[in-house]
Amino acid sequence: MAAPAVLSLRPATEEDRSRLANLLHFETHVHRHLDWRRPLDWLGSEPFLVTETGGRLTGALATPPDPPQVAWLRLFAVSTRLDVAEVWAALWPAAREQLLETAVDQAAAIPLQDWFRKLLSRSRFEHTHNVVVLDWHADGGSFSNGNAESLPIIRPIKETDIPAVYEVDRTAFAPLWQNSLDALGLALKQAGSATLIEEAGKPVAYQISTIGTQGLHLARLATHPDFQGRGLALALVKDLQQQVLRRSEMRLSVNTQDNNFPSLSLYKKLGFELTRDRFPVYQQALN
């Protein structure tokens, strides 16, 4: 049996960027969290740790809290020259120790590969639920958006709206699924469509969607709890479906959790259908 590799552990620095890029692009054992930021955009945030072996950068783990209560595992990558479990055993306890010194309540990950799911399970992460994908396909025919006179006014989100949109987001979602103010600002910059509904001059519901090769993806939809039950989310999604038809896109997709029954009911009411795509959510309490 080969002797365990001698690993040195340290914080990642900006000088590691090119070596980290190589690790991400050319190695097999790589986990990337789907995020508004690219993995290397987290350089400078903590914890972001790397391992070195004989002067070579051989592993990396980034799990900075954003929002402050939740630390998503945003990057984990290991050189194929090393045992992935060895590198994880060096990086995760060190990152967890840093997180325990902060106000973080939980760590979480959405592992897409079987090898990463096994590592998480061995480290006392629990598979709590799944993210599911629903699709709505435009058929090119007419689409009824209801009585226009009864619909709320929907307008594009402006950059100056982001602080108020953040307040809607913060109150509408549990901490695990909240976005930070910075994340929402990045989301707006990457959006293919971003709209909101106001009440007394303040945003009370919004959606942000991205655009890809297969159409629009509804990345974010939220209504302030005080205004839920009034059909505002329904109106925003119907308007988005109209946008899809005007753009001659073929598909509108959305993610939600398999235990979020109000969201599933809303999307199914609007003609969305569940796909076979399911992504497991693993969580670990840190307090």
pLDDT at 249: 73
Tell me the per-residue pLDDT of 248-263, one tens digit each, with 9 for 90 and over.
777 899 999 999 999 9
pLDDT at 4: 59
pLDDT at 274: 96
* Measured distance CA(11)–CA(45) in Å, rounded: 10
* Measured distance CA(168)–CA(222) in Å, rounded: 7
**CATH 3.40.630.30 for the 131-279 domain, yes or no:** yes
Q: Which contiguous run of DSSP H or E holds residue 7?
A: none
- Beta bridge mates, 11: 49
More confident of the two residues 211 and 2: 211
pLDDT at 138: 81
Is residue 129 over pLDDT 60? yes
Tell me the per-residue pLDDT of 130-151, one tens digit each, with 9 for 90 and over.
999 999 988 744 455 555 456 7
Q: 8-124 belongs to which CATH class?
A: alpha beta
pLDDT at 248: 78
pLDDT at 3: 46
Residue-level length of the chain: 287
Q: How many CB atoms lie within 10 A of CB 59?
A: 26
Is residue 205 over pLDDT 60? yes
Tell me the per-residue pLDDT of 166-201, one tens digit each, with 9 for 90 and over.
999 999 999 999 999 999 999 999 999 999 999 999
Is residue 5 over pLDDT 90? no
CB 225, CB 219: distance < 8 Å: no
Domain with CATH 3.40.630.30 in the chain: 8-124, 131-279
Predicted TM-score (pTM) of this structure: 0.92
* 71, HSE (Cβ side, Cα atoms, 13 Å): 28
**Cis check: omega of the bond before 156, within 30 degrees of 0:** no
CB 253, CB 135: distance < 8 Å: yes
Tell me the per-residue pLDDT of 24-75, one tens digit each, with 9 for 90 and over.
999 999 999 988 999 999 999 999 999 999 889 999 999 999 989 999 999 9
- β-strand 8-11 against 48-53: which pairing, if any? antiparallel
What is the percent of the chain where pLDDT is above 70? 94
Q: What is the mean pLDDT of the chain?
A: 92
